[in-house]
């Protein structure tokens, strides 16, 4: 005669097996495309083809320089960060602040005397430095509008498109 729990053992094991990735924080495969639009004002957000880049890169750590559990790629970083730990969230904006020069952020950094990495770029700089670095090497898109078109506000600020200066005025210096 089976005890009750043994009868359901198979079912329990199946459920437990499915819960393992959830326990690590990943309930699904990495997303196929990601909308990067937390900074869109002068330029539209970027529809980032994640699948394409997963195929292109040898390791998650090429872009997600830490947080995915893959060993860090930059040899300078690896001197100290030899243990690759997984974090729950691996998005750029998790660590890189939208406004890295606000008085509050600077004050916080000033008060934290033991902080080693005082030179963390803001989110906009992190995106561009990470993406453009590789794009320049690998022949990817490097023009501003290749990845994100300009908005109306952007055209106004850059005096481009519909806001371009009229007439062929000579340069103002003499």
One of 80, 89, 111, 164 touching another protein (CB under 8 A)? 164
Number of residues that bind another protein (CB under 8 A): 33
Place of tokens 């340069």: 171
Taking CB under 8 A as the criterion, the residue among 22, 51, 56, 157 binding another protein is 157
| Binding segment toward another protein, per CB under 8 A, in 6-14, 45-53, 84-92, 158-166 | 158-166
From 9, 16, 22, 160, residue interacting with another protein (rule: CB under 8 A): 160
Residues contacting 27, CB < 8 A, separation 6+ = 21
Residues 72 and 4: their CA atoms lie apart, in Å, by 48
CB of 61 closer than 8 Å to CB of 49: no
CB of 72 to another protein, least distance (A): 14
Q: What is the C-alpha separation between 137 and 154, in angstroms, rounded?
A: 28
Q: Which string of x and - marks every residue 19-58 that binds another protein (by CB under 8 A)?
A: ----------------------------------------
Angle, CA 66 vertex, CA 64 and CA 68 arms, to 5°: 75
Rounded to an integer, what distance in angstroms lies between the CA atom of residue 26 and that of residue 122? 26
Residues interacting with another protein, by CB under 8 A? 76, 101-103, 106, 110, 118-119, 121-122, 124-129, 132, 136, 142, 144, 157-160, 163-165, 169-174
């Amino acid at each position: 005669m089976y005890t009750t729990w043994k009868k359901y053992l198979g079912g329990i094991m199946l459920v437990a097996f499915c819960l393992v990735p959830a326990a690590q924080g990943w309930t699904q495969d990495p997303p196929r495309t990601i909308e990067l639009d937390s900074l869109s004002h002068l330029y539209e957000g970027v529809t980032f083809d994640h699948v394409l880049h997963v195929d292109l890169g040898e390791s998650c750590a090429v872009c997600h320089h830490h947080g995915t559990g893959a060993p860090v790629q930059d040899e300078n970083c690896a001197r100290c960060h030899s243990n690759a730990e997984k974090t729950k969230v691996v998005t750029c904006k998790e660590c890189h602040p939208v406004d890295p020069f606000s008085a509050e952020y600077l004050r916080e950094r000033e008060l934290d005397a033991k902080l080693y990495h005082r030179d963390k770029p803001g989110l906009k700089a992190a995106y561009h430095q990470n993406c453009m670095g590789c794009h320049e090497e690998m022949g990817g898109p490097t023009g501003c509008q290749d990845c994100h078109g300009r908005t109306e506000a952007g055209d106004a600020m850059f005096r481009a498109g519909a806001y371009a200066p009229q007439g062929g005025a000579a340069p103002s210096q003499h």
